[in-house]
Every structure is written in C-alpha cells, then in structure tokens.
Amino acid sequence: MHRDALRMPPDVFRAFMLSPWVLLLCTLAHVGVARAAAPTISGSPPATAMVGQPYSFTPHASDADGDRLIFSIVNRPPWASFDWRTGELHGTPSSDDQGSFADIRIGVSDGRRWWRRETVYLSAFSITVTAAENTPEPANEPPVISGNPPAEVVQGSTYDFAPDATDPDGDVLTFSVSNKPSWATFNTSSGRLSGTPGSADLGDYPDISIAADDGADTASLAPFSIAVVGSATGTATLSWRAPTSRTDGSSLDNLAGYRILWGTSEGNYPNSVEIHNPGITSYVIDNLAPAVYYFVVVAIDANELESEYSNEAQKTVGSM
C-alpha cells in the first residue's frame, strides 16, 4: 500500500491529540461515580385553618445517604412562616386571611453541590382559612340547696340557720329570702338567717323561703315557719374534764371557770353562758326549742386567757 493512502488530514489528526486530563475525565465518565440517592418526603398537611387558631404542618423527610436536608416552599400563604431547616409551615390566620391558598408545594433537597443536588416535593396542596366555629356553651347546671331550718326559737335566744348550697358549674351563688321575720337579718352571700327575737316577737312566722341563684337558675328550700316561744322544755346536759396544763406544757394553776357556747349551725355558736367556778365540770342547758344543737366549751384562767374550743358536741332536742 502506498504511504500517502494512510495520511490523515492535519485537523483530524490533531483531534486525536487529546490532553491527558481530557482522557482522564473520559475514563472517569465511563467508569462512573455512584449516584447519590434522592431524599424522600411525605406527610398529609391539614387542608383547613381556623381564624385565630394556630396552624402547623411539618413533613417527614429523610435521606438514605445521611446528607443534610434543606427545605423550600412554593406559594407560601402570607399569614404563615416557613422553617427551611425543618420544613414546618406554621402561622395563625386572621379574619382578613379567610379564603383558599392553593398550589402550595414543600420540597426537600439533600444539600449537595448544585450539580449533584436533587429536590423532591410533596404533592401540591391547598389550605382554606375559615371563620372559627362557634362552640355552644354547655347548658347551665342549677344550684343545689338543702338544710333543715329550726322551727322554733325561745325569746331572748339566738336563732341561726344557714343552708348548704353548691353549684355544679362552680358559679358564684347569691341568696335571697322571702317573708323574713322582722327580728332577723339575712346574709345574701351565705344565705344565713339569724336574729334574737324579744318578748314582743312571740308568735309564728310562716312561709319563709330561702333561694340560691347562680345567675341563670334558682333553687329554693321548701317554705318553712319559725315559732317564737316564751319558753321551751328541751335540755342538754354537758360534761367535761378540767384542764391541768397549758399548751406550752406548763402547769395550769389559776383556772377560773368556763364558757359554754352553742348554736344550731356547725361552727357557729351565738349563744353562751359563763360558769365562774373551776370545780364545775357539768352543766345543763335548758329552755331549748326543738332543733339540732352544737356545743363547745372554753376554759378561762384568772387572767381571762381563754383556751381553744373543745371538741364539738351535738344533740337533737325534741321533734323537728
């Protein structure tokens, strides 16, 4: 074969005279570098947001290569904020934001350099902002009132009665009374009816009613009567042991006497009598009208220092 038949044109020959770097790149291109796995993203964003109530959605995203994730959003609602580190979309719409916000897309990329970065997106979604629903208030529960008011009081003695009243809803109660005896006073905060009738007040006081009101509903005791009498035959005999020491442990050597207190309500003792003899350890309270009575005793020394109340004793006198 003639040598000239193998001659290449100069330009074609130069095309094969490639730089070693170009050859190396071509080799790498053929060998190939392992392709990075794309991140994944999932989640179901709430489709509704209420005016004045917080909205929040954070997608679940991961990357098989453990690459740092960067989040992005398209068509972010103006009332919401977006966290590119977590992908959280959150905010509280106002009444001016009512309406639909469509074609929102949250994406995640694996944080690689731009020529290797891959971004995947959630399916586009919408958020509709609506007015907050008006939750009906629960029905009011009426108050509950109970008690057994004493039906009789002796002139010169204190009449005292307070009903037991509660409200299931915890509402503040106010009390009222109808046909209140002229000699009695009434407390609208506690429902307490009390007073000391005199000799001019003898007689019957019928159809008295006490009610409790929670602002929406009212509950009433059954109507009752109070008879003011000149005397009564009921009695209660009390006895106790004389104290021998003080609260600090020192000896009590100047005991002077006692005071007995009683009433018709627990913890409230408007009636009293003093005993100026430390040797007496029992006493009869008479002239008691039919009722449930509560009694306590107090010790008094020569300097008029008083002890705390004794334990409370209770007795039902007569038929009620």
Q: Say what percent of the chain tops pLDDT 70.
A: 86
C-alpha span between 49 and 32 (Å, rounded): 49
29 — pLDDT class (breaks 50, 70, 90):
very low
Mean pLDDT computed over 97-115: 85
Domain with CATH 2.60.40.10 in the chain: 40-130, 144-229, 234-317
Judged against a pLDDT cut of 60, whether residue 95 lies above it is answered with: yes
- Report how far apart, in Å, the C-alpha atoms of 247 and of each of 157, 251, 271, 281, 298 are: 33, 9, 26, 20, 14
Number of residues that make up the chain: 320
Q: What CATH number was assigned to the domain covering residues 40-130?
A: 2.60.40.10
302: Cβ contacts below 8 Å, ≥ 6 apart:
254, 255, 256
CA–chain centroid gap for 206, Å, is 43
Q: What is the pLDDT of residue 23?
A: 43
CATH topology of domain 144-229: Immunoglobulin-like (2.60.40)
128: Cβ contacts below 8 Å, ≥ 6 apart:
47, 48, 49, 99, 100, 101
* CATH 1.10.3720.10 is held by the domain 234-317: no
Choose the most confident range, by mean pLDDT, from 76-80, 118-122, 135-139, 288-292. Answer: 76-80
Q: What is the pLDDT of residue 135?
A: 65
